[in-house]
Amino acid sequence: MEEDIKEVLLDEEQIYEVVKKIGTQISKDYEGKNLLLISVLKGSVVFMADLMRAITIPCKIDFMVVSSYGDKAVSSGTVKIIKDLDINLSGYDLLIVEDILDTGRTLKSLMEILKTRNPNSVKICTFLDKPDRRAVSLSADYMGTQIPDEFVVGYGLDYDEKYRNLPYLGILKREVYSK
């Protein structure tokens, strides 16, 4: 796997600092609220695990599987819910936890769906923001770091279900995903 990485963008220590900062802010902003973290699987699972440990107030978690990529390197723009939430959202302050915000299509559709389920609020927390790829008007309420328009893997992010287990965030060599 290492030979497929062009460059490391964030190492383990940098990732830890980013997550700690976000967790501290969420803890302040949601004090006294009924926080429900919603992990959008599979990419956000590593970030979600670290983030919930960085949050110092009570919170619940649930999981969704939403796809717009399949086995491709580029979003199709068609959002498909593969696994829905198990919790009734009424009365919760929702925080959608995502690995990366790029085109915004998936998150925008997901927010619209979740808002119809009577939560107190719906906000977005993303580990990575790739604003150069934005196709819809959408921004994260909590954002770890902006990245360039490169194909990144590691720390939960994948290409064709591989590289998620890398402990850092790296740029995948173009020849790997353009075969």
Report the C-alpha gap between 66 and 96 in whole angstroms: 12
Question: How many Cβ atoms are within 10 Å of 63's Cβ, its own excluded?
Answer: 19
CA distance 98 to 127: 7
What number of other Cβ atoms are within 10 A of residue 54's Cβ?
Answer: 17
Q: What is the DSSP letter of 157?
A: B
Tokens of 97: 């936890």
User: Are 164 and 154 in contact, with CB atoms under 8 Å apart?
Assistant: yes
- Whether 146 and 130 have beta carbons less than 8 Å apart is answered as yes
Active site residues per annotation: 102
Contact between 4 and 176 under an 8 Å Cβ cutoff? The reply is yes
